Structure 1
Amino acid sequence: MSAPVAHGSIRRRLLLSLLAGAAVLAIVVYFVVQSVARQVAQESQDNVLAASALSILDSARYSGQEINVDLPYSALSMLDSISDERVFYAIRLENEFLSGYDELPEADGTVAGVPAFRSATFLEEEVRVASVRRRMSTDIGQSYLQVSVAQTLSGQKQTLARISQTSMGIGAGFFLVSVLLAAIIARSTIRPLDRLTVSVSRRGPKDLRPVAAPVPSEMVPLVASLNSFMRRLKRSLTRSEDFIAEAAHRVRTPLAIVRTKAEIVQRKADNPETRTALREMIHAIDDSSRTAGQLLDHAMVTFRLDHLSQDEISLLRLVQEAVERLRPISEMKEIELHAIGTEDSIIQGDPILLQNALHNLLDNAIKYSPAGARVTVALTRHNDGGEIRITDTGHGFPEAELDRLTDRFARGANAESIVGSGLGLTIVKEVVEAHGGKMYFENMPGGGACVSLHFPLP
């Protein structure tokens, strides 16, 4: 039976989804921190520039047809205290330049008493400009006095670069924490499925009880489908077992009756042609009966291999019972059948399957051995297991066909005139390997064949 093909992993998919979400959130965190830091730095600088401009504007006085501006020390020193930046200023009355830097740009859209800001380039440097205007009474009437204060941005850029590195570290730390949390969440989410898998895999081959353990609501349909499948499987297996037993009886009994009738007619028939035809008919019935029986045995073995029992089995008792069961058949063919060895070995397995396998081997040995031959069943115990050796003094195995003797329906060239189906050794091999054992074939030096069955001890 081929194993199911894995198509991705739920744990991996969930983990990748969580990590993708964490990566997106880390990037968002990085840009949010950047934006907030830039906005805070900008607002802080704007507030200081506006305060400096208002301080200069407050110091302006009109007297003697002149405007006197006494630049307060605090107006520019507050900018120097923030960072090592260059500071510029310009004072204008309406469109007339009064003091400072004549080329210094002013902020657009200034309203009386409300600071306006702009970013510009001055003396080949990026600056931030704050402009404030206020009405002032002069000889010619009301005029606007405007003060503009500018500061370079190199220090602010350095600060933002440090903040950028910090925000990048915050984003990376957030992502690493998210990776750890994602792994924990993925494992916690998949744990009920793992528990269900372990619970089902630990069951014995005959344990088809419904799964009753509590599961998450998302897994209820899966468990319900699994329980339904196990119920159907249990019914199907029960019907298959009953069918095999019934078929064995229904097929073998009519064939046995037909064979008996044919033998009676053969003994009473006087015509040689009729006797020959009946003899061929009996041979065909024997062949059909054995083939049907072997097919049913193989079906039974296949069924039980999927539900292998684990009973304690005495190999010594198994050999003795098999020999006694087949002794009448060996005596009818004038074949000596006996068992040797009294050292027992206890193994774990299915007694019915092992009886069937040993019966097939002994039946083959008797069937293919000529009258007067000897079949010996030897039981020995080794350090690593027990061994059953069945030897005969017949014709042995065809050397060219040793590799294919266990193939289904394969029969040797020396078996053409002997009733058989070619399934006996196939059944034996499957049973032995299902019990963890091995089967070996060899021809004896003095003639005859030997089959060895090696079973590991529990």
Structure 2
Amino acid sequence: MSSRWSDRLRHALALRLGLWYFGLFLVSAAALLGLSYVLVARTLADEDHGVLEDLLSRYAAEYRRAGPEGLQVLMEADTADGRHERLLVRAMTPGGDLLYLARSPDLATLPLDGFDDALARRRPWSVVAGAPGPSVLEVGTLLLPDGVAVQIGRSSAGRDALLARFRSRLLELALGVVLIALAGGVLITATGLAPLRALEATVREILETGRLDARVTTTGSRDALDRVGVLINQMLARMDALVGGMRGTLDNVAHDLRTPLTRFRTIAERALVKGDDGAALDALATAVEEADRLSATLTALMDISEAETGSMRLAHAPVPVRRLIDDAVALFSDEAEDKGLRLSAEADEALVVMGDMTRLRQALVNLIENAVKYTPPGGQVEVQAQGAGDHVVVSVRDTGDGIPPEDLPHVFDRLYRGERSRSTRGLGLGLSLVKAIVEAHGGQVSLRSAVGEGTRAEVVLPLESRA
């Protein structure tokens, strides 16, 4: 069912995209062709007006040179030799009497009312209807200095025929444009939806195989669809890492919980076999201890999971770094003294970060606990905080045994315990929890260590904004 709907959606999207391109291309092409037609028609009209203006100028010059007789001769020549198609010329006296009239044979029956109206209104240009066929006459009127009016009417038949041929060519071109628009729509749809098809194929592969290592193919063009593909790949990579982490955690938890559960069973069986009240009490005490260990393991795992997935509730408030360090160090002062360690703290009173005081103290306590635990008697543990630009660096340095190079890359892994720490009680979750809490606050944690020289843990947190 989902495949059928996805096919329908893809086809509907492809159809809409193709139709949008087809429509926009046609509208643009129609606008361009229409503009071309208007420009050509205007150019031809301007040329016709230029011809009439030249004739009027010739007639005015001839009238001034040779008078009415010379004008009549010139008009007869222009209308008789066929140089000008469908031409009508006339001259009128200032009183409105006809001085001379000459016209082409095909305009012999044309009424002159339009010419009279143009002369009465003193219009230099006017259009006279009634010419044979669909064409009109464009009339130019010129008043000479002595009041004589010269009028020329020229048919637009030649221009109309040329425009008719131009329109037929435009229609042929429009058919080609339609074909190009169709081909372009198909091409644009095919290329434009290619990333979506790749995305669909990747998602379908993930659904069918359950593999999160599949990735969407990207082109590196950095367009919108390519950026979506990059973001989806980043999301898949994060999901793959989270699912892998969950699987690893479940494996580790199953392994880590198997031992205390076995102890539960062994302790209970021994108490039942002995049937002794003292043995039963010892068994209950050991069971409570193992239950606390299980509870601590599960609580730490839940805290890490919440921090890594962004669901941990953090009570953000200004946290004085000096107070944070003093509170954490105070918890280990007696233990350090009993062990013969020198535990010191140093921080500027002005350093303030924005975060959850309880969670940040929890992270710092884990770091100090590790330093105190793995530093031999007579050693030193230093906790310091310094400002570094818009960040604060909190460091915990010890003079302990150090961490072997082969263990150092894995110290932040959940439930990981190096060979040297297996003899010491612990969950292997402390540093994982520290990393999760610090990163939930927008910070970073790092560890530097050398065998026999000690370990230095650094937590970098953004300072409180003073805007």
Range class of TM-score, shorter chain:
0.3 to 0.5
Q: Which has the higher strand share?
A: 1
Q: Which has the higher helix share?
A: 2
* TM-score normalized by the length of structure 2: 0.42
